Amino acid sequence: MFWMVFLPLICKLSFLQIIASRDANFLNLENSVTDKIEKSFDTYIVHLSSSGGGFDNSAQSESLESRYAPFLPKNASGLNDASRIVHLYRNVFNGFAARLTAEEAKEMQQKNGLLFARPPKMEGHNNIVLDGGIFPNHPSFSDQGVPPPPAKWKGKCELNGSGCNNKLIGASNFVGGKPGPPIDEEGHGTHIASIAAGNFVENANVFGNANGTAVGMAPLAHLASYKVCASDGCAESDILAGMDAAVQDGVDVISLSIGGAFSRTFFHDVIAIGSFHAIQKGIFVSCSAGNSGPSTASVVNDAPWILTVGASSINRNIWAIAQLENGVGYFGQSAFQPKDFPTTFLPSVYPGAKGGQNAAFCASGSLNNTDVRGKIVVCDRGGEIASTEKGQTVKDAGGAGMILANLEIDGESTIAEINVVPAIHVIFSSGESIKAYINSTLTPRVSFVFEGTMIGIENSPLVASFSSRGPSLSSPGILKPDITGPGVSILAACPLSVENNTNTKSTFNILSGTSMSSPHLSGIAALIKSAHPDWSPAAIKSALMTTSDISNHYNTQPIFDERFQPADVFAICAGHVNPTKALNPGLVYDIQPDYYIPYSCGLGYKDREIELIIQRSVKCSKINSITEAELNYPSFSIHLIDVDSLKYSRTVTNVGEANSNYYVTASTNSGFVMGVDPFILNFTEVNQKLTYNVTFIRDTKSPSNATFAEGAIALISDKHFVRIPVSVKLV
């Protein structure tokens, strides 16, 4: 595994806040209890005006309650009912969350000082295992070799007994209306926490596969877990409360594997709002890009002050072969490879092969009228039914095993998955050939050959088909996602054994998603923060992006997408993370938090809407607003529509050698050209800032029929190669 390069590095002062992901529809959170009257309540997020002075984050709970009391409805005694309050926010948000009826919320809108009140939506990712919290007794959270937390740590541990230690220094539950310790009952929170900062655990494996030493990106970093998700999803009010506490507690890095189904305007996005105040305190924020790929414009968590992380594969596969009786075999992946599975050929069936709807989904109940007992069942992957649910359907109907065949949209991207039946995931073309074989004979027969773990996959990393793609809908002039990280078939800690092994606490699972890639980047950011404690969140983001890889592990080909075509900037943006290079990038593109205010004005947001983000009054009429392309971002997303040329600048800060010269180069494909000025940047001291200009010119001699074209700008010295991606919209 590539993460072994971190073994010599020690991260003593970095904390990680881990907030786990959830499958959920966008529904209002209903805090239902046994009393029918209570069922009319929703938990509303109440935004208060800052009245020009910002909000005081030093207030104690009692004074905050007294400040918010006038906005609350009255109880039977005629007093403002403070018992309605669910969360008080003091660090990332000016307001509170309270249980209100729709009528009470409407009445509250009339009060002076209130911006608006709305019921929180439920966040999640499609096709992600449910979770929340952490399993503290896993050996990944051993504090062996980890120093005590520093004096600045202010967090608490709500685990019963001795659940916290020098590694797991904090654990809190912020799920409104559901008290109790922040224990992970589903597995996902534990999984992503160990990816970011898990300690060394030997002999980690699943069913004997992917065996080795498991270790997180920052194994000696301190870790804090904030449970904000329940079995019915992650309420925005709870997410905001967790982020608020993390800032108060003194974390250095916040990792969120949470996201909605689509991009939102930033003043309606609690993750964007909370993250803005985190980066103002110097806290780095990494978020998953979403799992709605390969559809275009599906990226979420796309505010420019957030590192938005897509998912790529690693150089390890867990191979299995679907061997047809006609002598042809097709490779696929499977993490569940039981040693007692029959080695003989078994009858095979593709239900609904004559055109029935059941063929597409193997939905629950669809196999009741199909003879699948003892057979290998072919199911199309995708749709609204998860692969594990399809496996359960096959098992319930008596099927012996399952072949999961990619739909055309998912192409060559496969994952190693643990299912309830032996299941091999094959690429689209293999699935089509297997179906054709089944349809060609009255007695189709298939056997499974389990090959186990293979290291050194030449075409890795491959962008996962599920990884959400740009362009951003909220801010098309900012190229998103920012970067990709390992997010396919990731072995990491699990609270319970998927093998039903009750003799050990050292239990692991293999999961895939951008929820897995985001904590990889969070842990790497913690290492950079430890090495460069004075760097801003924007500088750390720049270091990660400008040093990322655009070629595969063996430098033989560009990084491919699920079609086995070179991945475009909307799939991979800057590239696949290269942790070693990111520690010493040479130059960084820095952005101070206040620069996002003229940027927000440039988006056309109203003063009131920007106040929701920055939590203080602003008047865009008195600010020199900037366009998206004018933000000093480590990428360009340009619209050359109805114009022949545009000119923008970028400023770089020297964080490498004091005396260094960089050559500024530009490369493009057809449709446009770039001119750079000056061609050479001569630095004479550390932290010196220099600016270069880029002119984007429509290439009328080589017209392009494509909507988008792309290129890159590189600053090259004797020791560093600093690259940023470019996207240009032409029509």
Report the interhelical angle of 537-546 vs 514-531 (nearest 10°). Answer: 110
Residue at 390: amino acid letter? K
User: How many angstroms separate the CA atoms of 518 and 631, rounded?
Assistant: 24
User: How many angstroms separate the CA atoms of 660 and 480, rounded?
Assistant: 31
Looking at 223-304, list the stretches that DSSP marks H as alpha helix, in order from N- to C-terminal side. Answer: 236-249, 270-280
Instruction: Collapse the DSSP code of 286 into the 3-class scheme (helix H, G, I; strand E, B; otherwise coil) and give the result.
Output: strand
Residue 464, CA distances (Å) to 212, 295, 409, 572, 606 in order: 24, 12, 11, 10, 38
| 532 is known as an active-site residue | no
Q: Which of 228, 219, 261, 264 is nearest to 246 (CA)?
A: 228
Which H or E run includes 455?
A: strand 445-455
Largest CA distance in the chain: 82
Q: What is the dihedral of CA 309, 18, 305, 478, to 10 degrees?
A: 20
Three-state SS string over 313-333 comes to CCCEEEEEEEEECCCCEEEEE
CA dihedral for 584, 586, 592, 595, sign (positive or negative): negative
Do the beta carbons of residue 454 and residue 317 sit within 8 Å? yes
For 406, counting Cβ atoms within 10 Å of its Cβ (0-12 exposed, 13-18 middle, 19+ buried), the class is buried
**Neighbouring C-alpha atoms within 13 Å toward the C-beta of 296:** 9
User: How many angstroms separate the CA atoms of 411 and 427, rounded?
Assistant: 6
Starting at the edge strand that comes first in sequence, how are the strands of the sheet with 168-173 ordered? 168-173, 222-227, 15-19, 253-256, 284-288, 307-312, 483-486
Instruction: Tell me the residue length of the chain.
Output: 731
Report the interhelical angle of 270-280 vs 236-249 (nearest 10°). Answer: 10
- Cβ neighbors of 397 (< 8 A, separation 6 or more) are 367, 368, 370, 372, 373, 377
Instruction: Name the E strands within 655-720.
Output: 660-668, 672-677, 680-683, 689-698, 708-716
- Single out the catalytic residue among 312, 515, 517, 536: 515
Q: How many CB atoms lie within 10 A of CB 54?
A: 12
| 125 is known as an active-site residue | no
User: How many angstroms separate the CA atoms of 127 and 203, rounded?
Assistant: 28
User: How many angstroms separate the CA atoms of 353 and 377, rounded?
Assistant: 11
- Cβ neighbors of 288 (< 8 A, separation 6 or more) are 21, 125, 256, 257, 258, 259, 300, 301, 308, 309, 513, 514, 515, 517, 518
Q: How many CB atoms lie within 10 A of CB 594?
A: 10
DSSP 111: S
- Single out the catalytic residue among 23, 42, 131, 410: 131
- Single out the catalytic residue among 47, 125, 138, 188: 188
| 143 is known as an active-site residue | no
Report the interhelical angle of 270-280 vs 537-546 (nearest 10°). Answer: 110
Residues annotated as catalytic are: 131, 188, 515
